Amino acid sequence: MFANFLLAPRGAVAIAAEATRVAGLLSVIAGAIFWSPVEVALFALTLLGLCLPKYLGLRAGLDAAIGVALLVAAWSSVIDLYTTVAWWDVVVHFALNGLIAAVAFILFEKFSGFRTGVGRTGSRVAVIVLTATFGLAVGVLWEFGEWAGHTLIDEAIFVNYDDTIGDLASGGAGAVLAGVMLAVGARVYADDSGAPAAAPARDGVRAE
């Protein structure tokens, strides 16, 4: 999978996905020059997230969507957009948490040996439930991170009960939508070589 980093982008969408990684690197540099170590750490984590879709060999559209969502989430925090636009937090959590949940499911299926089939084999309900579960778990970790940042690092990081519940609800909804899209067969890999194998045939009949 490391070979995926050596593949040249093909098409405008793939170039856009690569541009998000360049933007992520520039964001780290900007954080070091204009902001504090907190922002540098935030952008560094964002850059790691930007590299994961390339590592997994995901489709350019999904790669670009994840990249844009990560950058928007990070910069929204830095420029305090979450506190100045009341509904913005809900939108970002819905979109980003859904995308992260999809990636978590893809990682689970690729490395666990458990095959649900991403729209080709296995139970579609299992795909939705697993993706939603991953999304809710990520949402909890996200909120814990916000609380830890507020308590241990910077009290300017906004947290309250209503915000936490709203974030978990919107993020969970995004994860359910991501699960539905995976369950109905949305393609996630740039080619079929990285996709999990289909279930073996039984008595000459391919499992579906």
Residue 6 has pLDDT above 70, yes or no: no
Supply the pLDDT for residue 143.
85
Answer yes or no: pTM beyond 0.95: no
**Domains of the chain: which residue ranges?**
8-79, 86-191
Residue 57 DSSP label: T
Supply the pLDDT for residue 202.
40
Residue 122: pLDDT band (50, 70, 90) is low
Residue 117 has pLDDT above 60, yes or no: no
Residue 92: pLDDT band (50, 70, 90) is very high
Mean pLDDT of 132-154: 86
**How many Å apart are CA 122 and CA 87, to the nearest integer?**
37
**How many Å apart are CA 168 and CA 129, to the nearest integer?**
16
Supply the pLDDT for residue 152.
77
Supply the pLDDT for residue 103.
94
Mean pLDDT of 181-205: 57
Residue 193: pLDDT band (50, 70, 90) is very low
Residue 197: pLDDT band (50, 70, 90) is very low
More confident site: 145 or 174: 174
Reported as a single tens digit per residue, the pLDDT across 27-48 is 999 999 999 888 999 999 999 9
Supply the pLDDT for residue 21.
96
Q: Is residue 101 within 8 Å of residue 138, measured between CB atoms?
A: yes
